[in-house]
Structure 1
Amino acid sequence: MIIRKLEEEDLEAVNAICMDSFLQSVAGSLSDEGITTFSNIAACDAFLGRMKGDNLILVAESDEKIEGVIELKEGRHIAMLFILPERQKNGIGRKLLLSALSYAKTETVTVSASLSSVTAYEKYGFERSGEVDESAGLVYQPMEIKLNERQACVLQP
């Protein structure tokens, strides 16, 4: 498996991964507004715009097939982390996260974790940093990791 930067020809595959994973694990707990909001964020043109901006978007590729994606916004916030549903729990998320954190521009990296992903982020070393909140129909748990203290947790297999 290789971790590399997103390229334009990857956009459809990345959109499909995000939508498949979201629909299986998150969408059932959200309102129609939340589903629409996420669909707009995961759209190919939205990814393209963020890719050309200040966001770092990495993909995990195995045998020329994209299996996961992570987006680091402004070097300080994990905006997306999705793995093909059938490839979850194989270490792909950990590898993507570790790669993205190496580009962090701050000692504290945050994530607005979907409620179904909180346990996974805790395994990666993130801690809850506030109360559950909602924005545009998306319900999330604010979390953060302090790299100087917690990086060892992320590095563990």
Structure 2
Amino acid sequence: MGIDVSRMDGSDLPAAVELIKKVFMKFEAPDYSAEGVAHFMAYLDDELEKELSANQLQLWCGKYDQQIVGVLAVRSANHVALLFVDENYHRQGIAKQMYQAMLTELTPKQLTVNSSPYAVPAYEKLGFQLNGEEETVSGIRFQPMIFIREDVER
């Protein structure tokens, strides 16, 4: 299967948000309170586009047959804000391909992520390590994690 990974432009944002919502509701929302689900949805509906417009967020997508099947968002070039892959494409290396494309372009010395409980194993496969205790803020449960690159001079 050929997945095309590239920087995402604004025209793909509505499809990306729909993918994120679908995957979030199936795999992550069950671990969150109603407040957390509402907070995350409000971010997608109200804040995501503002962050993109202000160049605070950069997006990559994975497409199969011109359909978005994966989304990666990085804030301030050093924090993974969103990483979602359509359930029909899980365990096929799409998250890794988007992640490697981002690492090649941005070359961060380290990255952080506030991983959902569900996604911790996926981030560990990408080289992230636990970085503190699980927290809950605004109903969002997350595990702070960090990735330190060994191949970039400090």
TM-score of the superposition, structure 1-length normalised? 0.88
Paired AA for residue 121 in structure 1:
Y
Distance 2:11 2:110 in 1: 32
Conserved in 2, the CA contact under 8 Å of 1:76 and 1:105? no
SS at match of 1:42: helix
Conserved in 1, the CA contact under 8 Å of 2:6 and 2:101? no
**Which runs of no fewer than 5 residues in structure 2 stay unpaired?**
none
**CA-CA distance at 1:124 after TM superposition:** 1.1
Equivalent residue in structure 2 for 1:98, among 95, 100, 104: 100
Aligned to 1:133: 135
Equivalent residue in structure 2 for 1:118, among 117, 120, 139: 120
Q: How many residues align?
A: 149
TM-score of the superposition, structure 2-length normalised? 0.90
SS at match of 1:143: strand
Conserved in 2, the CA contact under 8 Å of 1:71 and 1:100? no
Distance 2:103 2:112 in 1: 11
Whether 2:113 is the aligned partner of 1:146: answer no
Aligned CA distance change for structure 1 residues 130 and 104 (closer, same or farther; 3 Å): farther
In angstroms, what is the RMSD of aligned CA positions?
Answer: 1.6
Aligned to 1:26: 28
Q: Deviation digits for residues 6-30 of structure 1, max 9, x if unmatched?
A: 2222122111111111111110111
Conserved in 2, the CA contact under 8 Å of 1:20 and 1:85? no
Percent identity of paired positions between Structure 1 and Structure 2: 25
Distance 2:133 2:29 in 1: 20
Paired AA for residue 46 in structure 1:
E
